[in-house]
Amino acid sequence: MLLFFLSSGLFLGWSLGANDAANVFGTAVGSRMIRFKTAAIICGIFVIIGAVAGGSGTSETLRKLGAVSALSGAFTVALSAALSIFVMVRVKLPVSTSQAIVGAIIGWNLFADKPTDTSTLIKIIGTWIICPILAGMIAAVLYIIVRFLVNRSRLHLLRQDQLTRYGLIIVGAFGAYSLGANNIANVVGVFIPSSPLHSLVLPILGTFSPAQQLFLIGGISIAVGVATYSKGVMETVGSSVVKLSPLAALIVVMAEATVLFVFASKGLDSFLISHGLPPIPLVPISSSQAAIGALVGIGLVRGGKGIHYSLLGKISLGWVATPIMASIITFIALFFMQNVFNQTVIAPEKATVEIQLKEPGKVKTTDTLTQSKKKSASQSHNDFHIFPQKYRSHPIIKVIPNSFNHLMNVKRLNKETVCPGFFCLLHGLFVRKTG
């Protein structure tokens, strides 16, 4: 069942692998510097490593934006993101999976009547705008350095070719790692809050968290996309769209990979925080837009000729149009999923019971805010019965099926807990609602 619901995310992963791998290895393969087979193997391996090892940062940001609480809801969100990408491609507007998934999550928030964290949203949009600019700046600096070195080094053309090949493989691997780390959130990020998986303890690798298991599955789907469908895209990118020398392509991939890495690296973020520097937002970004930014950066250093500035306008339009389109499609899709297919797209709110035993006679030390959030177990239990009636007057999309939730919570309360006699003997028996 999990795999069925994951299928929309895996489809997103597959399409991401088929399209975005060209941003990493496109020129190298298209210009025959590296064979497709070599590129696909390197890309597949490093995308999976990047996804499993470094995918948590961006996923956390998406979760802050909106935690899709039901598996079928997550399925619908991912499917709607994929659908909005399809629509945007049909109307020939530049589109990114990151923008589509963010829009889809906002669509879920609207449908579930959950507030969207505006600070996270601003952080995400800000990063989208900064991403191509940063990639352009990195590419421009790298281009100047590499041009200086090549002119001074007196390397033979064939030796330069040989070193460029090695460079394309190494930088391509780094790019694939960064792509996996940054973009895996787009693929399986929405499934994390509702994942039914449990932690696995593996003999050598240690604990494998449910999120990491999802990242592994998502990473494999990207790798499959690379292996099965990216060859044509790579050859098109490498041979006809933009004519780049392999060395310039190396710089573009390096700049793009650096930006993807910077906005996905938890380690770098922690390092900056520990040194009193401002943290880096860990946000899924568009590798295509980073690549375009890098190309523009190089173009400006070369004198700014041949840059199609209208393309930059189209990208800006994509920042707004894609999330809006994805939000609308997601909202409609969730409505149909819930009311036509009778699927639970919003999980019932769970109330968990927190039991604290306090020493008799000891004064409670919890602050007022915490106290206000806590209720006695009996009160909470009564609430479960009142809950459906309370929401009876609300529109259908706001009614949360409560029976399952109630049953779960009753099960959690053992006999002693629901017994008022014993309850009176316990001092710190509190109930806390969790979102």
Partner 1 sequence: MALMQNLTKLLIARIDEYLDAISEGMIVFQQGLEDYLGNRMTDFEERMAMVDQYESRADKLRREIENQLYSHSLIPEMRGDVLGLLEHLDNIIDVAKETLTQFSIEVPDIPMELVEDFTKLGESSVKAGEELVNAARAFFRELSRVKDHIHKVYFYEKETDRITSNLRMKIFRRDMKLSRKMHLRDVAVHVAKISDEAENVADRLSIYTIKRSI
Residues binding partner 1 (CB under 8 A): 31-33, 143, 146-147, 150-151, 154-159, 161-162, 165-166, 245-248, 251
C-alpha–C-alpha distance, residues 163 and 76, integer Å:
46
Pair of tokens at residue 250: 């190396």
C-alpha–C-alpha distance, residues 95 and 100, integer Å:
8
Q: Least distance in Å: CB of 294 to partner 1?
A: 14
CB of 73 or CB of 246, closer to partner 1: 246
CB of 93 or CB of 146, closer to partner 1: 146
Cβ pair 67, 193 in contact under 8 A:
yes
Q: Report the sign of the C-alpha dihedral through residues 295, 296, 297, 299, in that order.
A: positive
Cβ pair 248, 144 in contact under 8 A:
no
Q: Least distance in Å: CB of 289 to partner 1?
A: 23
C-alpha–C-alpha distance, residues 105 and 82, integer Å:
12
Q: Least distance in Å: CB of 143 to partner 1?
A: 7
C-alpha–C-alpha distance, residues 384 and 7, integer Å:
34
| CA angle in degrees (0–180, nearest 5) for 169-48-254 | 35
CB of 161 or CB of 416, closer to partner 1: 161
Q: Least distance in Å: CB of 31 to partner 1?
A: 5
CB of 307 or CB of 408, closer to partner 1: 307
CB of 241 or CB of 410, closer to partner 1: 241
Q: Least distance in Å: CB of 240 to partner 1?
A: 14
Q: What residues contact residue 434 under an 8 Å CB cut-off, 6+ apart?
A: 350, 351, 352
CB of 142 or CB of 347, closer to partner 1: 142
Q: Least distance in Å: CB of 149 to partner 1?
A: 10
C-alpha–C-alpha distance, residues 269 and 41, integer Å:
30
Provide the greatest CA pair distance for the chain.
89
Q: Least distance in Å: CB of 432 to partner 1?
A: 60
- Residue 245 has phi, psi (to 5 degrees) of -75, 150
Q: What residues contact residue 376 under an 8 Å CB cut-off, 6+ apart?
A: 423, 429, 430, 431
Cβ pair 286, 96 in contact under 8 A:
yes
- Residue 208 has phi, psi (to 5 degrees) of -115, 100
Q: Least distance in Å: CB of 154 to partner 1?
A: 5
Pair of tokens at residue 57: 């940062």
CB of 298 or CB of 377, closer to partner 1: 298
